[in-house]
Structures are given as structure tokens and as C-alpha cells.
Structure 1
Amino acid sequence: MKLDNLLIELLTEELPPKSQKQLGISFAKNIKEFLAKHHLANEISEDSIFSTPRRIGLYLKNVKDEADNQNVSIKLMPASVGFDGSEKPTEALLKKLHAIGLNEKDVSGIVKKNENNAEILYINKNEKGAKLKDIIAECISSSLARLPIKKMMSYQLSDGWTTVNFVRPAQGLVILHGANVINANVLGISSNRTTLGHRFESKKEIIEIQHADQYEEQMKIEGAVIVSFEERKALIKKTLNEKAASLSNQLTPIEDEDLLDEVTALVEYPNVLAGEFESKFLDVPQECLILSMKANQKYFPLIDKNKKLSNQFLIVSNISPKNSDLIIQGNEKVIRPRLSDAEFFYAQDKKKPLKDYLSQLSHIVYHNKLGSQSERSERVKTIASLIVKNLNQSKLLDAVMLASDLSKVDLSSNMVGEFPELQGIMGRYYALNEKISDEVAFAIEDHYKPRFSGDSLPRSTVGDIVAIADKIETLIGLFSIGEKPTGDKDPFALRRQVIGIIRILTEKNIGLNLNTVISESIQATKLVESKDLNSFIYDRLSNFFKDQGYAALDIEAVLAIESGLINEIPARLNAIKEFLLLSESEDLASANKRVGNILKKADVKSTLKVDQSLLKDDAEINLYKTLDLVDAESRKEYAAKNYSGSLKLLCKLKNPIDQFFKDVMVNAEDESLKMNRLALLEKLYSAMNLVADLSKLSS
């Protein structure tokens, strides 16, 4: 058995840049898992993952050329099938033994094991360890087959007959175990030790890899290729910052991890250059220019310390000629018409008043079952007015109505037609152009927020209200026509809409009763109510607060109250956390559960009232008096939002409750006594479950 380092490189035509990084990671993971399964390597062995525009690969340390023999336990069949009444092996058992390379002489090695009340036959077999050279082709082929490829290519090999499938046509395969080539054929390509370097910068036409350990160095020196994705990415990031600093210490490249990953996937040896465009284009909203540079040309815009765009940008080139002027000039020539288009769209859009855009919304379909964007805007407006009423913010009504009215106007603009990502942003610019207040203009942009995890929230209360209204309209509208998420599919991002509402309400501590507003919104908009919406929101609330680090039982206890005031949930959860530290908490939670079960079994149809004259036993009299005092104090703390204080007061009830259940028979023969005791328990249950349903905390 020889231990050495393994190199696998699959050379291809240009791989899709947006999936290249993940292809490399998945390929390496699959290879390691396969080799570990065959005892040729360890899944935690040190590795290096390679992916460039034209290759994916793996360098794995300490791989055996032949695995040790393995003593494996093989499941055969039920004992009733393998042996007859005389305990002699059946024909079925003998066939099974022959199939795994054994015979009747090995019957004595069979053991019986009990599984699910049945005897199962097993036999131990010493299996010869796998050889790397024998399984490497299967290892690579199966690893390639498991890659996360959305769209596969089918292409013919050079023989003109054989068709193979892969994300891009394969051109070469290197497999080295140390200095030795391992022969294999994958995707119609036979392995060797030669590969290709950079298309234009390589010092050699063909690069012959001498040893697995020398691959990275040879590729960099001879082939002008940095094969490690992460190394290229780090180099690009470092060089971008250095180039920006060389232009001005006031400038930095815009941070965009997705763009950085995509550019890293487009080059094999990066060369960062600086270009510029005419300053006149800076009169166009910088979001338009930035998006155009990033999306169309993969440039890195440069911004100053005030986050203002400069007229300079950085290019990450895949070639490094002695004179880079032609590359820079070519890129500057390409970006100019792009920016001219943006300038033209912006100028044309500003010529029309917003009321004209508003009228065009009736021609834009939102959903064929929910009407146009104009109809949608009216629903958002209606819901926003209900939120204003619920929050008692009548002074904001005019601003909220105007922001709701104009929230979708930019959808019919030229700029948003070209760059849909700018919806909301352009609405703000066009509103400011008509001298509409900053509050309304920013609300037009902010009503889409938060757009993604970690995104900022609306900047004003008007923005908060319109954002919540827009998200509620989306939820009740799409749920009304059955367009709800299923499994991991959520085409309308409804989960994100709920998370957005939760974040706005909790992070800004807005005391809006979500249950009330949703119910009123469904009635006001005349949409069909969906029974699934409440549970959908509940599940999102539960997952959201689990992600915040709260315990599942605590969340379940708080959400069981269904108060609708989302902003109070964190305070309630923190109060529960403090309550559980008290020595009385476990007994109180158990007692609460017991009380709940009694009331549920009694199936009381109406709210009962305690008649003090019917309180006979000392234990029930004591519980009533203590409860009367505690309930009043607890509700006072509850009304002051001191949830922790409200729960702590319940500790005074522990002994009276214990004594009550010890001395008092609730289901007395006298019906009046029974109902009065149920009334007392009902009062107790109500007092204990103000902050949360404590029965959910019972172990």
C-alpha cells in the first residue's frame, strides 16, 4: 500500500461563471466522499479545490493506492427463509452465499440477530480493499453526475457517434497519484499528465505536470493560471483596493460579493486596470450608472468617502499586455453607449409628470387573477389607510396616501423598463424632480424594503406604513388565489414578505395588531380569505425567532397567545426566559397545564363568574383571595409592558394552587359548587396566561 497525494483536473470549454465556484466545491466534496467510502482517503484530509473558467479539480493529500482489507457484516435474509425446519440451509441461502463469493462451507459463520421481532441472518466477510486505479473512473464519473448543473449540454465525441452529457464539453483529464498517471476514461477523455494553460498568456502550449504536488506552481509559472478560486478572488480584491488607492486616497471600489465571485470566475490570471467616462454622466442617478457598469460590463464602480460615484471605474482583465491602453480604451468605448442610454432614459422619463405614469399602470398586468398594477396600488392604498387608523397616525394620512398612490408609478418608466432592479429607486428620483417632499419620495423607494436578508428598513414612519401595506397586499392577494409557497418553492417570495413585516414591526417597535389589520384588509379589499395564511405567518414567526436564538418551547408559549402585536414578542420571550429561572416556574407551568385540561374537559360554553358565597373550603377561599390580589397587580404590570414583573407575581400563587388541588374536589356532586370552582379555575387560567401560554412550558 502506497500513500501519496492525488491530483484530478478536468479541462473543459468555458464554464458558466455564476455556477463555476459551486461546481468546483461540489466536485471536490463528491470525490472525497467516494474515496472515503472506499477507505482510500479520509473525508477530513487536507485538500485544495480548483476552479477556473476552463477547469475544475482537486488536490487531496494522503490517498492510498490500495485500501486495507475490510471485515464487513453482510445482511443475508430472514432466518425463516435461510434455514428449513431441520436448520439446514435452504437453496435461497446457498444462492445468496454464492452471489457474494462464498459457498456452503461458510454456513457455519452465519449469525442470527434480532431485528423488529424477527431473526435476521448475517455473515462476516473479509473483502479485499479497493484499488485506486480500479475505481478512479467511477469515482470521477459519479462525482460529475452529482454536480448541481441546472442545464446540461449534450455533445458528440470525435468518433461522430458517441454522445456524452456535461455542463460544457470536456477537453482533457489529468489524474496523478504522486508522480504516477492513473489511467482512466471519463466523458470520452483518457487521462494523462498534460493540460493547457492560459489561452493567451501561457508560456507553454502544453503543460506537462510532473507531480501532483507541483500542479499549482507549474500552472502559475508555466501556464499563467491561478487555479485556486479563492486565491484569485483574494488577489482581485487586494489589487482593486490598491488600484483605487493609486488613483485617489478618497476612492474605494464598490463592495459586491456576487460581482467579485462572477469576475473571479471569468479570469484565470487577473489584471486590474482603471478607466473613466465623461463627468456629464454623473448627472444621471448613480444607481443607474452603477447597475449598468456592474450588470452589463462587470466593472467595479469607484465611490468616494461620501458614497458618491466618481467617473472612474476598474476593469478586471484576463490578459496582461505590455501596453494596456488599448484594453482601457476599448472598455471606455463600450461603456459610453451604455451610459448614454441611461442618460437618455432619465431625460425622457423626467419630461412626463407622475400622473401620466399613474394612468399607465392600468395597462401593466400584476397577476391575471388579481388585475393590473393600478388595481394593486388601490388595494395598497386601502390597506395603508387602515394601518394609519390602527396606529392612530391620522396626521400622516395625506403623506401615506400620496406615497401609496405613487409607489408603483416608475414601473411604466423607460429606466425601470431597462433596469427592473431600479423600481422604487427611480420613483424617488422622479418624485423629487416634481418637488414632492423627501418623506414621500423616500417612502416610494423604501416600500420595497427590506428586499433581502440584512437589508436596511424604511427611513420614516410613512415608509414603514406603505412597506407593511404593500407586503400585506401581496400576502392576502396571492393567498386568495392559491398562490402559496410549497416545500422549498416560493416564486413570489412570500416568506420574505412576512419576514419583512416582522423586522419592521419588531426592530422599530411599532405597536400594530397584525391580526386585526389583515382581517380588516381582507374585508376592505374584498379578496377571498385563505385559511392557510395565519399558519403561514405563525411558522415564519416561529422560525424567525428561533434564528434569533430563542428556545422553541418559549416561542410556542408566546405565539399561542395570538395577541397580534408582533413588536411585543421579543419582550415576552425575554420575560419567559427570566421566568424559567425561578424555582416556582416548573410547578406553575404544570399547574397551568392541569387547569387547562380540566377546563377543556368541562367544555364550559360561556365565561363564568365566581360567587364568593359558594366558596366553602379554606383552600379555595385562600386561592380566590390570593388570586384577586395577584391578578390585579399582575395586570397592572402587564399593562405597563413589564412582562417579567407580571410573571414573577404569579409565584405568589404556587402554594395556594398546590393546596387547592390537594384539598378541593373540583367536580363536586353539587352542580353549583362544581361550576363555581370551574369559574375560579377559569379566572386563574386567564391570570396566568397573559404573557404566554405557560402550559406550553410544562415538561
Structure 2
Amino acid sequence: MTKNLLVELLVEELPPKSLKQLGASFSELLAASLKAQGLIASDAAITPYATPRRLAVHIANVAAQAADKPVSQKLMPVAVGLDAHGQATPPLLKKLASLGADASVVPQLKRIMDGKAETLFWDSTVKGISLTDGLQKAVQETIGRLPIPKVMTYQLADGWQSVDFVRPVHALIALHGADVVPVSVLGLQAGRETQGHRFEAKVDPIVLHNADSYAEQLAVEGAVIAHFAERRTEIARQLAAAVAQQKLTLIDDDALLDEVTALVEHPNVLVGQFDAEFLHVPQECLILTMKANQKYFPLLDAQGKLANTFLLVANIQPADPAQIIAGNERVVRSRLADAKFFFDQDRKRELKSRVQELDRVVYHNKLGTQGRRMNYVRDIATLIGEKLGGNALADPAYGAAELAKADLLTDMVGEFPELQGIMGRYYAQYEGLSDDVAFAIEDHYKPRFAGDELPRNRVGVCVALADKLETLVNMFGIGEIPTGDKDPFALRRHALGVIRILIEKDLPLQLNELINLVKEEIFDPLELDTSGMPDLADLQIFIYERLTSYLRDQGYTAQEVDAVLSLNPQLISDIPKRLAAVRAFAALPEAVSLVAANKRVGNILKKAEGSVPATVDASTLKEPAEQALHQVLTELLPKAEDSFAAGDYTGSLQILAALRTPVDDFFDHVMVNVDDASLRNNRLALLAQLHHTMNRVADISKLAVN
């Protein structure tokens, strides 16, 4: 017989940023353990609950006892378990006793070949576990495996024992239908009593009728929306209604919505305002302080500018919310006044006056200060600017890179590190610097995350590339290479940023030249405590690994990406064009035959003894098929090379379609590895020329179907 099961831990306020994950993990882990013990079906309906003060799960159709299971138990080799007369030996009797059996089962033992030895097996039936024992195990396992960010140790009520959990637990509920399951954990015995809202509950304690009445009783008697997703939806609904009433726009922020959902049990959205004079402060500062410090929802007007109206989510629903609104407005006024003070103070000094102070800020114990790092980034950005636009680009790149880190020493960024770059842009504009320089200061951090926008001007591109490449080269130079999930300096993100800038900005910069440029700028003269110029081969491999993932995310197949990247192309911006050419070539009717032939040619050349001649002697070509192939190659090679040089990779590859017939005829009628060394080498030279022609854009043999 099955009944629905409810398990709840009533706790003190849980960490809001962890609640959503804790709630999901609690339900998933508990259900997984019960499934493994045969107490619920694999498709059992599971409903998670999570509020600031509880983790709970409702599971449908939970058995009171798991079904019995047939088990085949491997015992020991026959030669060890039975004597010459077929009687049980002491080792076998001891083994059977450990399994709760005796000599009476010996005639039932099976003899089965296990490898090279005949082995004794005992088929028996194991009684299914009871819900009490199974749930006890499941709850203990679940608590031990929860993704708790920081464990808290606290004393139990007896004053002697201590336990560890994310927050102190005050009650445990375990109901199978209407029956309490007698389990215990964290010093608590399971019961049926819980608590509702701290201030608005109608009943305290709430005595649950059964597992199925949980959500309804909490809502009606306890003024609590127990389901995280339902509470989130209700908050979103109220926010949308308030925004529509104010004729403003809400800034979408799923993380903030999740966090606020984790802070309230009975949400009530209210509208507040702050003095319009604060709108003279950059809106990013105001938005961040409202979100980070107060968990408010800022609003924008029709022009996308910050309005002096905000939304707050209270955890109570009084008849007159005026005092709550006034209290929050008073608090936000102080917060915004701090932001205004920081902004006003910071503008009393120019950014340039702060640059020298970067020499006192340690960046890395092996790499020195932020000042030293800024010098590297400035010089690298200048060199990149010269390559892309001469002095007209190099000069502003120098100026922007020199000021790019100066805002790290401002009061505003000291309070809100998330505003680094953004505040540098505002202060640069206030000082009258050009928009090219000001926006480059902000944009040199971009892209900061997957899908983020790129620097909006060429000055920003130079400084962003310099900043990311300096970090990559320096960190790899001292051996700070990411391993597994650990990437403390975000080198994967920096590598992906370099890739995106090179490709999406279509920059004519070779990757190896960029790395060498940065390497020579940093390590010559050698200032670090190293034995010599570092070998950065691993860095290029690292970047190509990120490039592979990036291209796959763009929709290219593994074969297409492998075909192009196996040639190790250094002009990263050309790679999408190569991939498009490969895809167009693969669609040709001649492609399958040419791919197979290319793979065959590659294998022949790999096995060739000695060096293959660089040129073909046409006068020694004997067979009509090899003469025809040479003639077609002679005609097509200049065309293919011209298309390749012009960047027309699709045209270059499609020219190869004319090779299908002569290549097939060659392999049908010509033996390459003949005894005549002169003839053999000439044919190998012909194949080498063919191989080079076919693989200028990509190694098309990688397109072969395995």
C-alpha cells in the first residue's frame, strides 16, 4: 500500500542566495535515496518546497515497505567451500553465517564458472526495507550531501551536544499519509507540527492533518506560500502590476528576483520614491546600491533613464503600508546620499593623479603591482593600435590604457567593485576626455561574460585585447594555468574574450604574432624571477581549446571545426569563412570521393620513406592517369591559390571538384610504391602537390565518415 510522503526541516532564516539550490537539492537527494531503496517508483511525482525558514518535499505514492528482492550472492570457489566429499568447509559455513544462513542451504548452492574457477553462488530473497528505516537513511544522506556554502555548528537543546547544518533546525516533520514516520535527525524527532509566518500566521503551531494538506495549511493558517516557484511567480505578478500602474519599466534581473523570493514568505510589493536630486549621480551607482544593499527593484522611464521610483517587496501585508514605505525611503535616502558623496569626492581628483598610486596596489606576488601591469597593458595596447590604425589609433590607445585601472582607487569603486570601468568612463567624460578614450576605459573589461557585448570602438578593442593578452601571457609565464574547475584569474574567460574580439571585430591580427608581441614586451628585458623566456605553447593550445568550444556553440559540427583547426590557422578572424567554405564543399556531389582520396593520399605520404621531392618532373610521368592528374593540377593550382589569397575560401575549395575524375583514375590505374625509386618519388611528389592543393583551407580528410 502506498501513501504520499511529506518531509520538512523547519530552520532559522536560510542564506537567500543559496535557498533555491538548497530546496531543489533537498527534494532531489531525498527522492533519489528512496528510489534506490525501492520505496518509490522511478516516475514518482516530486514537489519541492523552500521558504526562508523551511526545506520540504512532497513525494507521491511512497510504499510502507519496499518489495522483496531476489539476490544472487557470490560466495567462494568450490575448491575452497566444499571438501572432497562435497561437504561445507569451515570457511563456507562462516560465510553463510554472516549472511544469516547455515549448512542447510548447501544443497541449494549453485556452481557457476566465474573466470577459470568454478564458484559457489547462493540465490536468496532479501526482505524489502521498511519506510522507517529507508527514510531514516534517506534523510541522513540528504543532509550530508546538501550543497551548503558554509556549515554552522550549534548546540542542541540539552546544552551538551552540537550538530552541523547550514542554520539551526527547530523541527522535523515526516508524514506518510496521516501517520508520523518515527525518524530522527540533528537531535530532533519527527512530528507533525510546523510554524507559519512569524507575524501573520493565524495558528501557531500548525498541526498538519496529513502529507497532502501541507501547502494549503501553510497558506491558510500560516500565511506562507511554501512553493518557491509559486512565490516567485506571485512576486513577478505584483511587480508587473505596479510597473503598469506607474507607467514605467522594470529592469529585468532574475538573480535579484530569486534572492527576494528567498527572503519573503508572504510577498507584498510596494512603491517607494527617492529625491530626484540623486538622479544627477550616474544611474549605474544608484541601481547597484538599491539592488545590492536594499534588494529593491529600480525602474526606468520611457527614455531608459532611471526614475526616482522603486519597488520593494515586504514580507507583511498591513492594512496601511505607509510606515513600511516611509522606513524604506528613509533607508534608501541614506544609501543614495553615500553614493552621491563618493561621486562628488572622486571628481575632485583627476584620474591621471591616481595612476602613480597603482604602484602601491599588489596585483600578484610574482607579477608585482597594478602599476607595473598597467605599464604592460599600455605599451601592448599602443603596439596593437599601431598595427590596426597607425599613430591615429595608437595614441588614444596609449592614453586610455594608462587610465584604464585608475578608477580602482576611487571611493565609488572601493564601495562597489562591480562599477570598475564604468566609473572610469564617467570621470573621464567629466574631465573632458574624448568619448573614444572614455568608452575604452569602460569597455576594456568586455566581454565580461558569455554573450556580453564587445568594446564599442577601436580604442576599446586595443585596450581590451592588451588587457586580456597581458593576463594570459603573464599567468601562463609563471605557471598559473587553470586546472579542472579552478580558474581563479578567469583565464578561460579572457581567452574567449580574445577569440570573440578577433572574430567578431574581423581583425587582421595573427594569434601567434600577438602572443609573441606580448611575450617580448613583458619578458624582454627579463624582470621576473624565471630562468628565461617562458615557452607559451600551452597558451596557444589553451586558446584553441576555447576556440573549439566557441565554434561548436556557433553551430558548426565537430568534423568541420576539426578540419579547419587541425591546420592551426593563426588568422582567427578568417576561421568562420573557412568553416563556411568547408560546409559548402561538403555539400558537393564530388566531396565524398575527394575526402576519401585525400585521406588515402595522406596515409601514403605518412608511410613514405625519406623526404618527398618538392617538385614533379613531368617528363618522367608514364601512365596516362598520372599525366592527366598532373595536367589538371597544373591548371587548377593557380586558380585555387588566387582564390585562397583573395580570401575566397569557398571558391578555392569548390575548384577542387574538377579533381574527382582524375584522382579516381589515378588510384584505379597507377601504383605509387613501385620498385623504381625515381618513378616512385615522382609519384609521391605528385601526391604531395595534390595534398597541398586540397588542404589549403582545411584538412578535408577530417570530413571522412568513420
Which TM-score tier does this pair reach, normalised by the shorter chain? over 0.9
Q: What are the residue-to-residue correspondences of 1:86-485 with 2, within 5 Å?
A: 90-111=89-110, 121-246=120-245, 248-249=246-247, 251-391=248-388, 395-485=392-482
1:487-566 aligned within 5 A: 487-526=484-523, 528-566=534-572
Q: Counterpart of 2:659 in 1: which secondary structure?
A: helix
Amino acid at match of 1:225: V
Percent identity over the alignment?
Answer: 50
Please list the CA deviations of residues 381-434 of structure 1 after superposition, one character each: whole Å capped at 9, or x if unmatched: 232233334445554222222222221121111111111110110111011111
- Secondary structure at the residue paired with 1:501? helix
- Report what 1:577 is aligned to: 583
Q: Which residue number in structure 2 is paired with residue 625 of structure 1?
A: 631
**Alpha-carbon separation, structure 2, partners of 1:697 and 1:549:** 16
Q: Counterparts of 1:63 and 1:345 in 2: how far apart (Å)?
A: 59
> C-alpha distance in 2, partners of 1:343/1:491?
33
Cα 1:56–1:679, aligned 2, differ >3 Å: closer, same or farther?
same
**1:322 is paired with a residue of what secondary structure?**
coil
In structure 2, what is the Cα distance between the partners aligned to 1:552 and 1:107? 58
Deviation at 1:481, TM superposition (A): 0.8
Amino acid at match of 1:659: D
CA deviations over 1:633-652 (Å, ceiling 9, x no partner): 32333334333333233232
Please give the alpha-carbon distance, in whole angstroms, between the structure 2 residues aligned to 1:588 and 1:464. Answer: 41
2:191 partner SS:
coil
Contact kept, 8 Å, 1:82 with 1:121, in 2: the verdict is yes
- When the two chains are superposed, the root-mean-square deviation of aligned CA atoms in Å is 2.3
Corresponding residue for 2:31?
A: 32
In the alignment, is the contact (CA less than 8 A) between 2:81 and 2:89 conserved in 1? Answer: yes
Contact 1:476 1:529 in 2 (8 A): no
Match of 2:73, SS?
strand
Alpha-carbon distance between aligned partners in 1 of 2:580 and 2:107, rounded to the nearest angstrom? 64
Q: Distance in 1 between matches of 2:256 and 2:107?
A: 65
Contact 1:382 1:525 in 2 (8 A): no
Partner amino acid for 1:298? Answer: K
Query: What TM-score do you get using the length of structure 2 for normalisation?
Result: 0.93
Alignment: residue pair count: 696
Question: Secondary structure in 2 aligned to 1:191?
Answer: strand
Name the SS for the 1:351 alignment partner: coil
Q: TM-score, normalised by structure 1?
A: 0.94
Instruction: Tell me the distance in 1 between the aligned counterparts of 2:468 and 2:274.
Output: 39
Quote the offset at 1:551 in angstroms. Answer: 2.1
Tell me, in whole angstroms, the C-alpha distance in 2 between the residues paired with 1:673 and 1:483.
Answer: 54
Q: CA deviation at 1:362?
A: 1.9
- 2:644 corresponds to 1:638: yes
Distance between the aligned counterparts of 2:81 and 2:563, measured in 1? 54
Equivalent in the alignment of 1:691: 697
Q: Closer, same or farther in 2 for the Cα pair 1:556/1:103, shift >3 Å?
A: farther
Q: Deviations over 1:498-517 (max 9, x none)?
A: 11222223333333322221
Q: Quick one: which amino acid aligns to residue 143 of structure 1?
A: T
Question: 2: CA distance between counterparts of 1:553 and 1:90?
Answer: 61
Corresponding residue of 1:59: 58
1:592–1:695: 8 Å Cα contact kept in structure 2? yes
Task: Choose 79-88 or 264-273, whichever is displaced more.
Answer: 79-88
The answer to whether the 8 A contact 2:19-2:51 is kept is yes
SS in 2 for 1:125: strand
Matches of 1:361 and 1:355, distance apart in 2: 11
1:567 aligned residue = 573
Query: Does structure 2 retain, via aligned residues, the 8 Å contact 1:15–1:54?
Result: yes
Contact kept in structure 2, 1:157 and 1:163, CA below 8 Å: yes
Could you tell me how far apart the structure 2 residues matched to 1:467 and 1:558 are? 27
Amino acid at match of 2:604: I
* Contact 2:612/2:684 (8 A) holds in 1: no
Residues 338-362 of structure 1: per-residue CA shift (max 9 Å, x gap): 2111111111111112220222222
Give matches, 1:668-687, under 5 Å.
Answer: 668-687=674-693
Counterpart amino acid of residue 309 in structure 1? L
Q: Which moved more, 1:666-675 or 1:622-631?
A: 666-675
Give the AA of the match of 1:201. E
Q: CA deviation at 1:109?
A: 4.5
List per-residue Cα deviations over 1:259-299 (Å, max 9, x = no partner): 11111111111111122111111111111111111111111
CA distance in 1, matches of 2:378, 2:292: 33
Larger displacement relative to structure 2 (213-222 or 404-413): 404-413
Distance of aligned partners of 1:256 and 1:685 in 2 relative to their CA distance in 1, 3 Å threshold = same
Over residues 311-365 of structure 1, what are the superposed CA-to-partner deviations in whole Å (9 max), with x where a residue is unaligned?
1211111122222222222212222222111111111111112220222222222
Are residues 621 and 425 of structure 1, via their aligned partners in 2, closer, same or farther at CA, if it must alter by over 3 Å? Answer: same
Counterpart for residue 652 of structure 1: 658
Residue 56 of structure 1, CA deviation: 0.1
Matched-pair contact (CA < 8 Å) for 1:281–1:343 = yes
- C-alpha contact 1:111 1:121 (8 A) present in aligned 2: yes
1:613 to 610, 614, 619: 619
CA-to-partner distance for each residue in 1:481-527, whole Å, 9 max, x for gaps?
11110111111111111112222233333333222211222122227
Residue aligned with 1:203, SS: coil
Cα distance in 2 between the residues matched to 1:163 and 1:431: 56
SS of 1:59 mapped into structure 2: strand
Paired residue secondary structure (2:579): helix
In the alignment, the residues of structure 1 paired with residue 228 and residue 541 of structure 2 have an alpha-carbon distance, to the nearest angstrom, of 43
Distance 1:463 1:90 in 2: 83
Superposition deviation, residue 449 in structure 1? 0.9
CA distance in 2: counterparts of 1:505 and 1:697, whole angstroms: 26
State whether residues 476 and 533 of structure 1, in contact with CA within 8 Å, keep that contact through their aligned partners in structure 2: yes
Cα pair distance change 1:43/1:305, threshold 3 Å? farther
- CA 1:242–1:120: 2 relative to 1, 3 Å: farther
* Distance (Å, rounded) in 2 between the aligned partners of 1:626 and 1:87: 82
CA distance in 2, matches of 1:335, 1:356: 32
Maintained 8 Å contact 1:647/1:691: yes
Check conservation: 2:383, 2:394, Cα contact below 8 A: no
Separation (CA, whole Å) in 2 of partners of 1:216 and 1:364 = 54
Match of 2:527 in 1: none
In the alignment, which residue of structure 1 is the partner of 2:529?
none
| 1:577-631 CA-partner distances (Å, limit 9, x unpaired) | 3333344433323332332233333365687122222323322222211112222
User: What SS does the corresponding residue of 2:398 show, helix, strand or coil?
Assistant: helix
Residue 46 of structure 2: aligned partner: 47
The one-letter amino acid of 2:102's match is: N
Query: Which residue identity is paired with 1:101?
Result: G
- 1:522-558, CA deviations, whole angstroms, 9 ceiling, x for partnerless residues? 1222273433111111211122222333222221221
Q: Is the 8 A contact 2:613 2:681 kept in 1?
A: no
* Contact 1:32 1:42 survives alignment (8 Å): no
Gaps of 5+ in 2: 524-532
Would the alpha carbon gap of residues 442 and 39 (structure 1) be closer, same or farther in structure 2, given more than 3 Å must change? same
- Does structure 1 conserve the Cα–Cα contact (< 8 Å) formed by 2:612 and 2:685? no
